[in-house]
Structure 1
Amino acid sequence: MSQTPAIPTNPLVTGSEIARIAGVTRAAVSNWRRRYGDFPAPVGGGVNSPLFDLAEVQAWLDKQRKGQDVTDEVHLWQVLRGAYGDDILEGLADVARALTGPDGERPTALPEQAVGLARRLAEERSPAVVVNDLAERFRESVRRAGSDQVTSPRVVRAVRHFAGDAADDAVLFDPACGI
């Protein structure tokens, strides 16, 4: 009788995301995996792109006192991953709504801590830059994890070809495409 592996309940992160969280390079994360026997074991992904349990990684970083000085952007990402898990796109949409909606109004699932961090970042930059930076972080994380949520450049070119000419300010929506 074979046992099926347990499905992880916490958000999963790539080595690249761990590096961002800790404020180090990806090479440093690779070194930690080799050097520290208590570094969290991968819980998913493949040999070339392992995925780690975010809660285990954060606990290990805290125990090792690594990544104590993180930027507001990294802290915001951590809060969103903790609140939304694998549904991070909903979190990004909620941040966009919180930054562009009426003052004081926020999506109910968005933690107050995330609202504060996002607004502080938006004051330094702009709401559009904050959302674009978060979207880019998402694209990078899923691309490295081999996710199907990122549309390949070849498919994007094909859709653009068949969509034809559109005004520069037009918004096109394809519900069958990834990000």
Structure 2
Amino acid sequence: MSHEDLEAHDKFLFTLEWLLAVTKRHAGGLQFGLAHINYESPKILGETYGAQKAAQKLDEVSHSLRKAFRKSDLVARDGGDFWILVPFAPAEKLVDKIRYIIETASQSGLQIVERDISIFLLPNDAAQLGENVTAQEFLAYLKMNHITLASNEISLPASE
């Protein structure tokens, strides 16, 4: 990952942990959206482009996402996963915006893998995990349970 991606990842985790703590203290007062974009097979990207070129293409997606969203929205990349933290917005609008950005980014070759997009409107049941859950553990929980916890799910299939 690029230096910019590492900084954005750290900032994202810090902000998410703060939001989770505030949400626990003030239930119902703070709402925000969290989007997860999962590139299903980083292995296919690596086999197709080579590891370095695949990483560069994923960095390009990070950059495109950061550029397309507002400064108050945070974008983090973790391997082939992208997380976007946004103030409360209608889920449909967020899905449409992300779909457009991903389809645009895919024109540079990333359409060869399936991309799943999950939108979470928080707080939800996942925000009640426990007092000492880290942001990283929270994201892992959301990723593992996205089918039951996401308010919207879309999948962009790999092209032939």
TM-score normalised by L of structure 2:
0.28
- Say which one has the larger Rg: 1
- Which structure has more strand as a fraction of its residues? 2
Query: Which structure carries more relative contact order (alpha carbon 8 Å, separation 6+)?
Result: 2
